[in-house]
Amino acid sequence: MNAEPLRKDDVQAQNSPRRNFVEVYQNAGKAFHLIDKYQTPPFPSTYSLWYAYVSGADDQLVARVDEVLAKHGELSAYEIEEIVQANLAQDSNETARQNIGIAFEKEMESVLQIIQEGVKRSDSFRSTLTDAGDKLPNSMSSDDLKGLVSGLMEENRRMAEVTQELNDGLIESQKQIATLNKELQEVQNQCMRDSLTAVSNRRAFDKRVLAEVNHAEQSGEKLCLAFADIDHFKRLNDTYGHQSGDAVLQMFAAIIDQNIKGQDMVARYGGEEFAIILPRTDILGAYNLMVKIKHSFEKAELTIMGNNTRISGVTASFGISRFKPGMTVQQLIERADSHLYEAKNAGRNRVKAEGMS
């Protein structure tokens, strides 16, 4: 599957505010089709990759995607991230929103044209009725009346057909707008997701922890925050390679996510560090939960596809803080981070929390 590269003038035209709405909309549809076909996660970076691929705006990206698809028949999360980092700008979230926004604008333009046509047809029909009303008093013969009635029936038939066409057009645009709205919502949701591990990202964490601290301050409810960091992660990367390291990150995120409750939140805070927000949870409950996650991760085994490398016995350290009235978000984070360093300095593969051994 190859996309024909665009000429330089075509690429410049795409970047112009007046670029072709139809082409953008069609490319957006093709990009979402490829996301579905190859079962790649619908993240903004994935969308941007497929959009750039179908538009042919980057020869190197097209060649690299074709090479991976020919070799493996699919794109892994690692390969997507690698291609995006090598070929696309870092504002993929904004690119995705802009492209869908342009498609929205095209559909709204269609709706406006339909409405304008409806107004035009309505004015024409009203003029016909007015003209018939003016002629009716002077139409004494049966032939005149028949002519007026026949004309009105014909105009009514034409108006009914036009109305049906306009309604069909509005219904179709409504469907397109609903689809675009859903896709935009997905993109906005994925802007808050880490593209590698599929858990929440730092931006989502910052927003949520602020909201939870404010809520705990006002309601008096309990709140705990935990930081988790994979032990000796650099050594793991150096030994097994970055692809294996990414797989371990994904496994760790999945284990945390499987053990927390619906009200809780896990986010990739940065690198190999994760943050877990635990609303309505006391320090003992948070401690026991982190111990459970620690043991689950330590016992987990991972087989790397492609080279059959088996990785096991990887550990993580945890630090927990609890919210106290008057505490700021930064103070809550600093205390959790401090307890994490305690766990690291005490020999790693430990859980440290205020008042807990």
What residues does each domain of the chain span? 1-191, 202-353
Phi and psi for 227 in degrees, rounded to 5?
Answer: -110, 135
pLDDT score recorded for residue 208: 94
Mean pLDDT computed over 67-77: 84
The answer as to CATH 3.30.70.600 being correct for domain 202-353 is no
Chain segment 140-186, per-residue pLDDT in tens: 556 665 665 666 666 666 666 666 666 666 666 666 666 666 665 66
Told to judge if 109 belongs to the known catalytic residues of this protein, a careful annotator would answer no
Catalytic residue among 272, 273, 334, 354: 272
pLDDT score recorded for residue 111: 53
Chain segment 285-320, per-residue pLDDT in tens: 999 999 999 999 999 998 877 667 789 999 999 999
Instruction: Work out the number of other CB atoms within 10 angstroms of the CB of residue 97.
Output: 17
Work out the percent of the chain whose per-residue pLDDT is above 90: 37
pLDDT score recorded for residue 118: 56
Measured distance CA(18)–CA(12) in Å, rounded = 11
Q: Can you tell me whether residue 356 is helix, strand or coil?
A: strand
Mean pLDDT computed over 334-356: 94
CA atoms 196, 197, 202, 207: torsion sign: positive
Work out the percent of the chain whose per-residue pLDDT is above 70: 61
Q: Strand locations in the chain, DSSP E?
A: 223-230, 265-270, 273-279, 301-304, 309-312, 316-322, 351-353
Contact 108, 116 (CB under 8 A): no
Does 127 have pLDDT greater than 80?
no
Does 85 have pLDDT greater than 60?
yes
Does 20 have pLDDT greater than 70?
no
pLDDT band at 10; cut points 50, 70, 90: very low
Averaged confidence pLDDT in the chain: 78
Does 268 have pLDDT greater than 70?
yes
Stated pTM of the model: 0.55
Where helices occur in 88-201 by DSSP H, the ranges are 92-135, 142-190
Does 353 have pLDDT greater than 80?
yes
Does 103 have pLDDT greater than 70?
no
pLDDT score recorded for residue 256: 97
Least confident segment among 12-21, 48-57, 235-244: 12-21
Q: Between these two residues, 127 and 237, which has the higher pLDDT value?
A: 237
Does 116 have pLDDT greater than 60?
no
pLDDT score recorded for residue 325: 95
Does 107 have pLDDT greater than 60?
no
pLDDT score recorded for residue 319: 97
Chain segment 128-147, per-residue pLDDT in tens: 656 655 555 555 556 665 66
pLDDT score recorded for residue 356: 76
Q: Between these two residues, 131 and 198, which has the higher pLDDT value?
A: 198
pLDDT score recorded for residue 155: 66
Mean pLDDT computed over 226-253: 93
Does 331 have pLDDT greater than 50?
yes
Q: How far is CA 334 from the centre of its chain?
A: 30
pLDDT band at 349; cut points 50, 70, 90: very high
Measured distance CA(184)–CA(96) in Å, rounded = 8
Does 211 have pLDDT greater than 70?
yes
